[in-house]
Every structure is written in structure tokens, then in C-alpha cells.
């Protein structure tokens, strides 16, 4: 079986796809990955055939999060360019493949390419709240410029509004390209992308589908990429030099202004040392004092087991990694599914949901202080044992099993 896995987004969107690719390869299947060019060296270094999709995204991490959103005309041009590139790139990459697996929410053309080439298509969400359900409201999708959800409307009405926004944003560009390859127009862009039986690559304890036993959603568990990289000598020395520090990081998303300063001031206010992940936003400590260490890309699975708490933006991958490690969390959500993960961490008693947006030293100190309480640490350790690690294997074996039943 030949599998094309594709996604568009930051590390949190790409790493689950890579985890599935590695597991499929271990099972003897052929895989290739389409993702933003930022990840070419990493994925290529794993020995996985890689095709770049779209522009580099790293520069977006340094963009001002308070800047005005793009105008409707610029957003329209961005959508048209993205969809045109998807049709061209995915069509070439899918040659000889048996199935396309689309991870995340922006690979709008993947199902059309699969339809044109006559192969299977699987859509995978990374968070329950991204899939329509009367039990929750839809998250805003930044590329569409969504306004905050109207909490006075019922969830069903909000999902209907969400479907119309998908059509308004992507419908014209998608249908234009479909017509050019002989396919009929799509009346429901979101339903077309998500299919009648989407997959959910989220841990069933951290992010349960709200309708247990629902046959229309396949919850595989989170797709986790095992990481055996050692920590750097500098980081090992820092960890060994005192009590467990607090980890601060915003991964590859935009960070509020002066967040690095706020993080270090918070740690010092509580008498804690700090490890600050630079990330795409280039976060940095205030100074060169020995109580803080600035780091680059790191093995979170190893590091999070050795910190007092993890303060982060609420990406699905970081939330799951911290939960697996038994580390208490402070989640400072910025957009999309991060608000959901913040609430889940808080509801599970394994940390604190900070208010969205930019924290102050006072607000972050209060949130971290609550999170460092012994009872929260105990709950986080207890939760660690319930988090599954076999999601990528479940998904890989499901793909292989379905393929083995397909007619030759």
C-alpha cells in the first residue's frame, strides 16, 4: 500500500502526520508526506520521502499577533493561491498512491485529488471541538477571519453558520479547480472535506468525543512520534543544578508581545528557575542570569518528565506531551482548538486555564502558583498513566486493514 499523508500548518499539525508515516513504514507500507517546506530537513532526515506544500510558515511566528487581520480581498487571494498549489502539488504526489490521509483543517483540495485519481481519502481532526457536534460550538478558523463565537446562539445554529463560512471562504476557489479537472461543484465544503466518517487523532481521556459509541467518528488516540533524542549537555547541566524548573514555550505560533519577559518574571516571582523555548517567535529570557536557560528544538518527552510545570499555548501536541509526562500545566490559549485544551486541562484538575491572549506577570504568577500546588501535581501524575500511546499504531493498522479488504 502506498499512502500520501498531507497537512498544512505548524509543528503541531505536521508531527502527528509524521508519527503515522513512521508507524506505517514500520509495518512495511510505502509513505510520502506533503507539508510546508519548513519541515523538509526534519522529515527527510527520518528517511521519509517529502514534497513541500505551500510557502514557508516560520516567519509567521514572529509576526505581530496584534496586527490587523488581512483584508477580505487579500484573504481571497491567499485562499486561491493555496488551493491552486494544493491541486498541483497533491496531484503529482498522489501518483501511484492508494489513499490520501489529510491531517488538520486546511488541506482543502485533498479529497478532490483523491476523487479525481480514484483512490481512498481519510480526513483526520486533532481535537474533538473541530468536528461538528451539538455538544460544542465550532472553533474560529484564523484563515477565515472568523469573529468570536456568539455564545447566545445554540450550537446547531453555530455549526450551520460555520458551514456557510466554509463555503464563503473556500467554495468558489475549490469549485473552480474541480471544474477544471471534470468534477462537479461541492455544495458543502466542510462536509466534503470532513466526510461522513472523520477520524479523530486525540487521546480519549484528554479529548473524548462527546458522543460515546458514535459510529460516525473514529477516535484512534493521539498520533505520537516516539522521540529518543538526548537532551543537550547544557540542558542536562541546568536541570541537575537545582530544583526542577518551569518550562515556558509557545512552540511555532505567534506569541504575545514581551511574553519572554513575562515568563521569566513569573518564574522569579515564585522563586523558580525557568527553561524558555525560543520557538518560531524567538522568545528569550530577560538576561543571562543562571536561573534561566534559553533553548531551541528539544525532546519534550524527555524534558517534561523533569520539570515542575509546563506553561504553553495549548497546542494538542504539547498538551498531550505534558499530560503523558505527568507535568502540571498552565495553558494560555490564543486561537482555534487551544481554548478547548485549556479547558480540558483545568477540568481534569491537571493544571490551570489562563485567560486567552497576552498574560501579565501578575496573572501568570497567579495561574502558575495555583498549578504548582501539591494536589495539582498529584492529579497530573495520576492522569499520565491514563493517556494512551498507541494512537498512530491504531490508525496505521486500520488503514492497512481497510486496504487489505479492498478489491485488487
**Alpha-carbon span 163 to 186, nearest angstrom:** 12
pLDDT tens digits along 66-93: 556 678 888 889 999 999 999 999 999 9
**Alpha-carbon span 274 to 259, nearest angstrom:** 13
Residue located via cell numbers 476523487: 115
Average pLDDT, the chain: 91
For the purposes of burial, counting CB atoms within 10 Å of the CB of 347, is it exposed (0-12), middle (13-18) or buried (19 or more)? exposed
Which CATH homologous superfamily contains domain 2-224+389-405?
Answer: Glycogen Phosphorylase B; (3.40.50.2000)
> Is 70 exceeded by the pLDDT of residue 407?
no
**Alpha-carbon span 34 to 293, nearest angstrom:** 34
145 or 225: which carries more pLDDT confidence? 225
> Is 90 exceeded by the pLDDT of residue 403?
no
Residue 144 has a pLDDT of: 47
Produce one character per residue of 31-52: b if its CB has 16 or more CB atoms within 10 Å, e if not. Answer: bbbbbbebbeebbeeeebebbb
Residue 361 has a pLDDT of: 96
pLDDT tens digits along 10-68: 898 999 999 999 999 999 999 999 999 999 999 999 999 999 998 887 765 454 555 56
Residue 57 has a pLDDT of: 78
* Nearest residue to 287 via CA among 261, 253, 248: 261
pLDDT tens digits along 313-333: 999 999 999 999 999 999 999
Please report which confidence band the pLDDT of residue 404 belongs to, taking 50, 70 and 90 as the band edges: low
Cell numbers found for residue 21:
508515516
Architecture of domain 233-384: 3-Layer(aba) Sandwich (3.40)
286 or 137: which carries more pLDDT confidence? 137
Domain ranges of the chain: 2-224+389-405, 233-384
**Topology alike, domains 2-224+389-405 and 233-384:** yes
Residue 146 has a pLDDT of: 53
Amino acid at each position: 500500500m502506498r499512502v500520501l499523508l498531507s497537512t498544512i500548518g505548524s509543528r503541531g499539525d505536521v508531527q502527528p502526520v509524521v508519527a503515522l508515516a513512521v508507524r506505517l513504514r514500520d509495518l512495511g507500507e510505502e509513505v510520502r508526506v506533503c507539508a510546508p517546506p519548513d519541515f523538509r530537513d526534519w522529515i527527510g532526515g527520518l528517511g521519509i520521502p517529502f514534497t513541500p506544500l505551500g510557502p514557508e510558515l516560520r516567519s509567521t511566528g514572529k509576526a505581530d499577533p496584534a496586527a490587523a487581520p488581512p483584508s477580505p480581498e487579500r484573504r481571497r487571494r491567499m485562499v486561491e493561491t493555496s488551493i491552486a498549489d494544493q491541486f498541483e502539488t497533491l496531484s503529482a504526489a498522489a501518483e501511484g498512491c492508494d489513499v490520501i490521509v489529510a491531517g488538520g483543517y486546511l488541506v482543502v483540495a485533498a479529497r478532490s485529488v483523491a476523487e479525481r485519481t480514484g483512490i481512498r481519502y481519510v480526513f483526520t481532526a486533532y481535537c474533538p471541538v473541530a468536528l461538528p457536534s451539538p455538544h460544542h460550538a465550532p472553533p474560529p478558523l484564523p484563515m477565515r477571519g472568523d469573529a468570536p463565537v456568539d455564545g447566545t446562539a445554540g450550537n446547531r445554529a453555530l455549526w450551520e453558520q460555520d458551514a456557510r463560512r466554509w463555503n464563503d471562504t473556500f467554495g468558489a476557489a475549490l469549485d473552480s479547480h474541480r471544474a477544471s479537472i471534470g468534477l462537479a461543484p461541492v455544495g458543502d465544503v466542510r462536509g466534503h472535506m470532513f466526510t461522513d466518517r472523520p477520524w479523530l487523532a486525540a487521546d480519549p481521556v484528554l479529548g473524548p468525543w462527546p458522543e460515546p459509541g458514535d459510529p460516525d467518528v473514529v477516535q484512534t488516540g493521539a498520533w505520537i512520534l516516539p522521540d529518543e533524542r538526548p537532551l543537550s549537555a547544557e540542558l542536562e547541566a541546568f536541570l541537575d543544578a537545582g530544583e526542577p524548573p518551569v518550562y515556558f514555550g509557545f512552540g511555532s505560533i505567534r506569541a504575545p508581545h514581551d511574553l519572554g519577559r513575562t515568563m521569566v518574571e513569573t518564574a522569579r516571582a515564585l522563586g523558580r528557575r525557568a527553561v524558555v523555548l525560543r520557538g518560531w517567535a524567538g522568545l528569550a529570557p530577560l538576561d543571562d542570569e543562571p536561573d534561566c536557560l534559553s533553548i531551541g528544538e528539544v525532546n519534550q518527552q524527555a524534558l517534561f518528565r523533569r520539570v515542575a510545570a509546563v506553561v504553553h499555548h495549548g497546542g494538542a501536541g504539547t498538551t498531550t506531551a505534558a499530560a503523558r509526562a505527568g507535568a502540571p500545566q498552565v495553558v494560555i490559549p490564543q486561537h482555534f482548538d487551544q481554548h478547548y485544551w485549556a479547558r480540558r486541562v483545568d477540568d481534569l484538575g491537571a493544571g490551570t486555564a489562563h485567560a486567552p491572549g497576552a498574560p501579565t506577570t501578575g496573572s501568570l504568577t497567579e495561574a502558575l502558583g495555583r498549578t504548582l500546588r501539591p494536589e495539582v501535581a498529584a492529579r497530573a501524575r495520576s492522569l499520565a498513566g491514563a493517556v494512551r500511546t498507541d494512537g498512530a499504531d491504531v490508525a496505521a493498522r486500520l488503514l492497512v486493514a481497510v486496504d487489505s479488504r479492498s478489491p485488487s
